[in-house]
Structure 1
Amino acid sequence: MTPHISRKRSTLAIATAVAAGALLAAGLTTGASAQPDQNVSAASPVKLSATARAGLLQDANAEKAATAEKIGLGAKEKLVVRDVVKDRDGTTHTRYERTYDGLPVLGGDLVVHTAKSGKVKSVTKAAKATIKVASTSAKIATKAAAASAESTAAKTGDTKKADAQAPRKVVWAASGKPVLAHETIVTGVQKDGTPSKLHVITDAATGKKLFQHQAIETGAGHSQYSGDVEVGSKKGGSGFDLTDDSRGGHSTYDLAHSESGEGKIVTDDDDTWGTGKPEDAQTAAVDAAYGAQLTWDYYKAVHGREGIKGDGKGATSRVHYGKAYVNAFWDDSCFCMTYGDGEGDKKPLTSIDVAGHEMTHGVTAATGNMEYSGESGGLNEATSDIFGSSVEFNAKNAEDVGDYLIGEEIDINGDGSPLRYMDKPSKDSNSLDNWSEDAGNVDVHYSSGIANHFFYLLSEGSGAKEINGVKYDSPTADGSKVEGIGRDKAEKIWFKALTTYFTTTTQYKDAREGTLKAATDLYGADSAEAKGVAAAWAGVNVK
Structure 2
Amino acid sequence: MTPRYARHQRTTLAIATAVAAGALFTTGLTGGASAQTPADTFGKAPLAAAPTALSATARTALVQQAQANAAETARRIGLGAKEKLVVKDVVRDVDGTVHTRYERTYAGLPVLGGDLVVHTAKNGKTRGVTKATTSAVKVASLKPQITAAKAEKQAVSAARTLGSAKTSADGARKVVWAGGGKPVLAYETVVGGLQDDGTPNRLHVITDAATGKKLFEYQGIETGTGKSLYSGTVTLNTTKSGSSYQLYDTTRGGHKTYNLKHRATSSTGTLFTDSDDVWGTGSASSSSTDQTAAVDAAYGAQVTWDFYKNTFGRSGIKNDGQAAYSRVHYGNAYVNAFWDDSCFCMTYGDGDGNTHPLTSLDVAGHEMSHGVTSNTAGLEYSGESGGLNEATSDIFGTGVEFYANSASDPGDYLIGEQIDINGDGTPLRYMDKPSKDGGSADSWSSSVGNLDVHYSSGVANHFFYLLSEGSGAKTINGVSYNSPTSNGSTVTGIGRAKALQIWYKALTTYFTSTTNYKSARTGTLSAAADLYGSGSTEYKAVAAAWSAVNVS
- Scaled by the length of structure 2, the TM-score of the pair is 0.93
Does the CA-based 8 Å contact 2:225-2:360 persist in structure 1? no
Does the CA-based 8 Å contact 1:223-1:409 persist in structure 2? no
Corresponding residue of 1:30: none
Tell me which amino acid in the other structure corresponds to 2:316.
Answer: G
Tell me which amino acid in the other structure corresponds to 1:49.
Answer: S
1:447 equivalenced with 2:456 (yes/no): yes
Find the partner of 1:233 among 238, 254, 258: 238
Cα RMSD after superposing both structures? 1.5
Q: Distance in 2 between matches of 1:437 and 1:512?
A: 16
Corresponding residue of 2:341: 332
Q: Distance in 2 between matches of 1:237 and 1:180?
A: 56
Find the partner of 2:105 among 99, 107, 110: 99
Structure 2 counterpart SS, 1:195? coil
1:203 equivalenced with 2:208 (yes/no): yes
How far residue 230 of structure 1 moved from its aligned partner, in angstroms, is 1.0
1:537 equivalenced with 2:546 (yes/no): yes
How far residue 157 of structure 1 moved from its aligned partner, in angstroms, is 3.7
- Scaled by the length of structure 1, the TM-score of the pair is 0.95
How far residue 37 of structure 1 moved from its aligned partner, in angstroms, is 4.8
Alignment of structure 1 residues 400-439 onto 2, 5 Å: 400-439=409-448
Alpha carbons of structure 1 residues 215 and 162: separation in structure 2 relative to 1, 3 Å: farther
Tell me which amino acid in the other structure corresponds to 2:184.
Answer: V
Does the CA-based 8 Å contact 2:227-2:361 persist in structure 1? no
Does the CA-based 8 Å contact 2:166-2:191 persist in structure 1? no
Alpha carbons of structure 1 residues 221 and 295: separation in structure 2 relative to 1, 3 Å: closer
Structure 1 counterpart SS, 2:102? strand
Find the partner of 1:178 among 183, 203, 225: 183
How far residue 223 of structure 1 moved from its aligned partner, in angstroms, is 8.1
Structure 1 counterpart SS, 2:457? helix
Find the partner of 1:71 among 62, 67, 77: 77
Tell me which amino acid in the other structure corresponds to 1:341.
Answer: D
Alpha carbons of structure 1 residues 421 and 37: separation in structure 2 relative to 1, 3 Å: farther
How far residue 237 of structure 1 moved from its aligned partner, in angstroms, is 3.4
Alignment of structure 1 residues 230-269 onto 2, 5 Å: 230-257=235-262, 258-269=264-275
1:468 equivalenced with 2:487 (yes/no): no
Q: Distance in 1 between matches of 2:141 and 2:406?
A: 58
Does the CA-based 8 Å contact 1:4-1:228 persist in structure 2? yes
Q: Distance in 1 between matches of 2:119 and 2:426?
A: 43
Range 184-193 or range 474-483, more displaced: 184-193
Tell me which amino acid in the other structure corresponds to 1:144.
Answer: K
Range 480-489 or range 278-287, more displaced: 278-287
1:136 equivalenced with 2:145 (yes/no): no
Find the partner of 2:95 among 89, 94, 97: 89
Alpha carbons of structure 1 residues 461 and 137: separation in structure 2 relative to 1, 3 Å: same
How far residue 12 of structure 1 moved from its aligned partner, in angstroms, is 3.5
Q: Distance in 1 between matches of 2:523 and 2:439?
A: 27
How far residue 529 of structure 1 moved from its aligned partner, in angstroms, is 0.2
Does the CA-based 8 Å contact 1:303-1:492 persist in structure 2? yes
Alpha carbons of structure 1 residues 263 and 177: separation in structure 2 relative to 1, 3 Å: same
CA offset digits 1:228-262 (Å, max 9, x no partner): 10111101133111000100000000011111110
Tell me which amino acid in the other structure corresponds to 2:203.
Answer: L
1:309 equivalenced with 2:318 (yes/no): yes
Corresponding residue of 1:28: none
Q: Distance in 2 between matches of 1:223 and 1:48?
A: 29
Tell me which amino acid in the other structure corresponds to 1:128.
Answer: T
Give the length in aligned residue pairs.
527
List alignment gaps of at least 5 residues for structure 2: 1-21
Q: Distance in 1 between matches of 2:25 and 2:461?
A: 29
1:109 equivalenced with 2:130 (yes/no): no
Q: Distance in 1 between matches of 2:340 and 2:253?
A: 18
Find the partner of 1:495 among 473, 488, 504: 504
Does the CA-based 8 Å contact 1:79-1:98 persist in structure 2? yes
Tell me which amino acid in the other structure corresponds to 2:60.
Answer: A
Corresponding residue of 1:389: 398
Alpha carbons of structure 1 residues 358 and 222: separation in structure 2 relative to 1, 3 Å: closer
Find the partner of 1:485 among 485, 491, 494: 494
Tell me which amino acid in the other structure corresponds to 1:334.
Answer: C
Tell me which amino acid in the other structure corresponds to 2:456.
Answer: S
Does the CA-based 8 Å contact 1:4-1:286 persist in structure 2? no
Range 221-230 or range 185-194, more displaced: 221-230
Find the partner of 1:6 among 15, 21, 27: 27
CA offset digits 1:394-440 (Å, max 9, x no partner): 01111011100011111111111111000000000110000000010
Alpha carbons of structure 1 residues 10 and 468: separation in structure 2 relative to 1, 3 Å: farther
Q: Which one has more relative contact order, counting CA pairs under 8 Å at least 6 apart?
A: 2
List alignment gaps of at least 5 residues for structure 1: 26-33
1:507 equivalenced with 2:516 (yes/no): yes
Q: Distance in 2 between matches of 1:145 and 1:60?
A: 36
How far residue 45 of structure 1 moved from its aligned partner, in angstroms, is 0.6
Alpha carbons of structure 1 residues 162 and 114: separation in structure 2 relative to 1, 3 Å: farther
Q: Distance in 2 between matches of 1:223 and 1:114?
A: 41
Q: Distance in 1 between matches of 2:259 and 2:473?
A: 44
How far residue 2 of structure 1 moved from its aligned partner, in angstroms, is 4.6
CA offset digits 1:18-39 (Å, max 9, x no partner): 5xx8xxx8xxxxxxxx674555
Structure 2 counterpart SS, 1:231? strand
1:42 equivalenced with 2:63 (yes/no): no
Find the partner of 2:527 among 509, 518, 526: 518
CA offset digits 1:154-177 (Å, max 9, x no partner): 2x3443445412210000001110
Range 278-287 or range 373-382, more displaced: 278-287
Tell me which amino acid in the other structure corresponds to 2:33.
Answer: L
Does the CA-based 8 Å contact 1:183-1:199 persist in structure 2? yes
Corresponding residue of 1:376: 385
Alpha carbons of structure 1 residues 2 and 13: separation in structure 2 relative to 1, 3 Å: farther
CA offset digits 1:121-159 (Å, max 9, x no partner): 1000001100000111111111111011112222x3443
Find the partner of 1:212 among 210, 213, 217: 217
Tell me which amino acid in the other structure corresponds to 1:12.
Answer: A
